Amino acid sequence: MKLFSMRNLHLWHRWLGIALGVLVLLWFISGVVMLFVAYPKLTPEERLPRLEAINTGLVHVAPAQVASMLGGEPDRLRLTMLSGRPLYHAFYQDQWHAIWADNGDKLSVGPEIISASAQAFLPGASMRNMELIERDQWSISSSLNVYRPLYRVTFSSGDVLYLSSHTAEVVLDTSRSERAWNWLGSIIHWIYFTPLRFDHHQAWRQVVMWLSFPATAMSLIGIWLGIDRLRLRRRYKGGRMTPYRGWTKWHHISGLLAGMLCVTWLFSGWISMKPFDMFAGRKLSAEESQHWAGSPHWPLPALPAKMDATDKIGEIEWIYFAGKPILLGLAQHRTWMLDAESGAPLAPFATSAFATQASGMLAGARVKAVTQLEHGDRYYYGKRLEAVSPVIRIDLDDASATSYYIDPATTRIVVSHDNRSRTYRWLFAALHRLDFAPLDNAEIPRWIVVILFSIGGTILTAAGMVMGWRRLTRA
């Protein structure tokens, strides 16, 4: 077909390169930055050490009273301390509510309480400004929607905290250097500009999809043309393997060396947008979550006057497993699982208890295998998940081959997979992040490989841009 003649392929490659070259170059550079500086978020390692130790002796309001004040049973219930007073955080009707646990009054969030919470998070820091916002460049994540609007508190040091207008808790922190590096990293890489990403999410998704797809086609064509022009036996004049010189030679050689990884990165970036809903990660359904928790028995028992945990507990959450209420005490270095009535530490549940509860998760599905994983497997791996290890994997015999990964220290399902999510793992994570053996749990070797190929991709793209500029200026 004339459309796919060598001449037309050259034209397609040239003009796609002229149109998309700058963006692909920025993707290579920003990808390296993202190895070392992530998009701002509040991690447990940042949050937990800054929480006040809970004084259970000050709690005089029972969970049943919280439910009565809200007009119904909350989906989640937590307890923290604020300015030396215990405070309930209740998630009810898709919104967080805060109620003082010493007198039952609703928390009135204003500048004074926000200032106290922010200063407790960054003691000694000089506060410069405070304002109520809906969102900005750093707070556009949908995970923050349940806390909006947010108080943005700026410090002289350049640190910025975002606090919920419902609960006065810090939900996001950023530093000056983190924000600066992200302009060269995540924002460019994800095309993460506030008006497009937040106000027009579907439009943003389409923009990323239909930039990465033609870029993938451009790279595939380039590899085909590069191989066609390569001569290993009947070499060009002077014994050269390439007919090109100068920037064109750099483009040809670097394309042969790094071109295939360029294709896989661009293709997996397109896959990350889940085009046509072909592949996706798996999330627990409401029915699965409800079955795992069992039938909650309200009212929840009142908080024990004493908890036998040796660490400073900064947050307590009431959860259920198989109908049994449990207290999770969050400390800096571990999570305590405590009896909801006595406050005594609970022994880990037997593996058989998790298997029994999982047997009814999906209609008609039975438990096929139960495995304890000390260091994860190909679908549960990497530095991001080291905090919850070991885990117990429960495999079902349903048509989608569903698996659940359970943290025995908390009874929670930390992730679940089926055939679609496993395919997505290989097409996105494996190709885009090089998360495959032997690099998946070897962070530094993976960084080295990524950086080396990114240098090759940068040379490839920069040389192509020079060629494109010369072509445009000559035309």
Per-residue pLDDT of 233-264, as tens digits, reads 889 888 899 999 999 999 999 999 999 999 99
**Predicted local confidence at residue 132, as pLDDT:** 98
Least confident of 206-215, 336-345, 404-413: 336-345
pLDDT in tens, 157-172: 999 999 999 999 999 9
19 neighbors 175 (Cβ within 8 angstroms): no
**Predicted local confidence at residue 276, as pLDDT:** 82
Contacts of 304 (CB under 8 A, 6+ apart): 56, 327, 338, 339, 340, 341, 342, 343
Task: Find the Cα–Cα–Cα–Cα dihedral 136, 139, 142, 147, rounded to 10°.
Answer: -100
Q: Is the pLDDT of residue 380 over 70?
A: yes
Sign, CA dihedral 98-104-108-112, equals negative
Residue 460 confidence class, pLDDT cut points 50, 70, 90 = very high
- Average the pLDDT over 59-65 and give the result: 92
Q: Is the pLDDT of residue 404 over 70?
A: yes
- Average the pLDDT over 135-155 and give the result: 95
Higher per-residue pLDDT: 312 or 214: 214
Mean pLDDT of the chain: 91
- Average the pLDDT over 166-188 and give the result: 97
Rg of the chain's alpha carbons, rounded to an integer?
27
- Average the pLDDT over 17-44 and give the result: 95
- Average the pLDDT over 43-51 and give the result: 94
Residue 191 confidence class, pLDDT cut points 50, 70, 90 = very high
Residue 297 confidence class, pLDDT cut points 50, 70, 90 = low
pLDDT in tens, 89-106: 999 999 999 999 999 999
